[in-house]
Amino acid sequence: MNMAEATLTPESKPAVHHPFLLLLRGYITVTMPFLLALIAIRFVMSPLYLQLEYNRPDFPEDYYGFTQADRLNYAPYAIQYLLNGDDINFLGDLKFPDGSAMYNARELHHMRDVKVVTQYAYLLATIGGLAAILAGIYLYRNEPAKLRQALFGGALFTLGIIAAIIVIAIINWDFFFTSFHTLFFASGTWQFEYSDTLIRLFPEQFWFDASLIIGGSTVLGAVVILVISWRWRIVTSGIHK
C-alpha cells in the first residue's frame, strides 16, 4: 500500500453514482420535512404544551364558563385518547360535574377520525424514521458525501416548504386552516359550535399558536442539520487539502 492509499478517507474516494445510493440520498432528503414536523407535533400533543398555552396571559377566555383550571383538567383527556389504544368510549364516557356528556356525537366522530390520522402518521413516521436511519448508516459507510448531500438538501427542502406554508398562513389563515382540515377530514365533520367542548378547549388561537410552534421547531431542526452538514463539508474539504 502506498502513501496515497494509506491517507485515503471514505469521503475522498471517487464518487460512486450507483442508482441505489442516489435513491437513498433522495429518500432522506424527501422524508426530512415530514419527520421533523412529526417530532414537533408530538411536543404540541403533550401536557407541557397545554400548560404553556393555557397559562399565556392573552389566551382567550371561554365565554361559556371554562376556567383555566377546567381546561387544564379536561384537555389532557383529548390528548391521551389520541395517543392511547382505547376506543372512543374513553372520551364518550366522560361527564361534567352536572352529569352531562363532555362531548357530543359530532365531536366524538371527529376525534375518532383524528385518532386514525394520528395513528397512521406516527406509524409512517416510525417506519420512515427507521428507514432513514438505516439509509443514513448505509450511506455513511459506503459514501459519506452522499449522506452529507442528503442532509443538506433535506434541510433546504424543509425550509422551502415551511416558508411556503408561512406565506400562505400569513396571507390567509382561514384558507390554510380550512384547507388543512379538508385534506384529512370529510367536509362538515370538523366544524363545530362555539359552545362545543372541543372549541372551548381548543379555540382557533390554540391552533394558530400550535402552528407557530410546529413551524418554528421544524425550522430550528432544519437549520441545525443545515449547519452540521455545511460544517461537515468544510471539515472534509480541509482534510483533503
Per-residue pLDDT tens digits for 75-130 = 999 999 999 999 999 999 999 999 999 999 999 999 999 999 999 999 999 999 99
pLDDT recorded at residue 240: 53
pLDDT above 90 (res 3): no
Q: Are 24 and 142 in contact (CB under 8 A)?
A: no
Please state, in angstroms and rounded to a whole number, the distance separating the CA atoms of residues 188 and 205.
Answer: 21
pLDDT recorded at residue 12: 47
pLDDT in tens, 174-204: 888 888 778 877 777 788 999 999 999 999 8
pLDDT in tens, 55-78: 998 999 999 999 999 999 999 999
Q: 174: buried, middle or exposed (CB in 10 Å: 19+, 13-18, 0-12)?
A: exposed
| Average pLDDT over every residue of 26-53 | 94
pLDDT recorded at residue 174: 82
pLDDT above 80 (res 2): no
pLDDT recorded at residue 10: 47
Instruction: Tell which residue, 209, 170, 199, 198, has the closest CA to residue 56.
Output: 209
pLDDT recorded at residue 17: 57
Q: What is the Rg, in whole angstroms, of the alpha carbon atoms belonging to the chain? A: 23
User: At 238, is the pLDDT very low, low, confident or very high (cuts 50, 70, 90)?
Assistant: low
pLDDT recorded at residue 239: 58
Q: What is the DSSP string of 104-156?
A: -HHHHHHHHHHHHHHHHHHHHHHHHHHHHHHHHHHHHHH-HHHHHHHHHHHHH
pLDDT in tens, 216-230: 999 999 999 999 999
Place of cell 386514525: 116
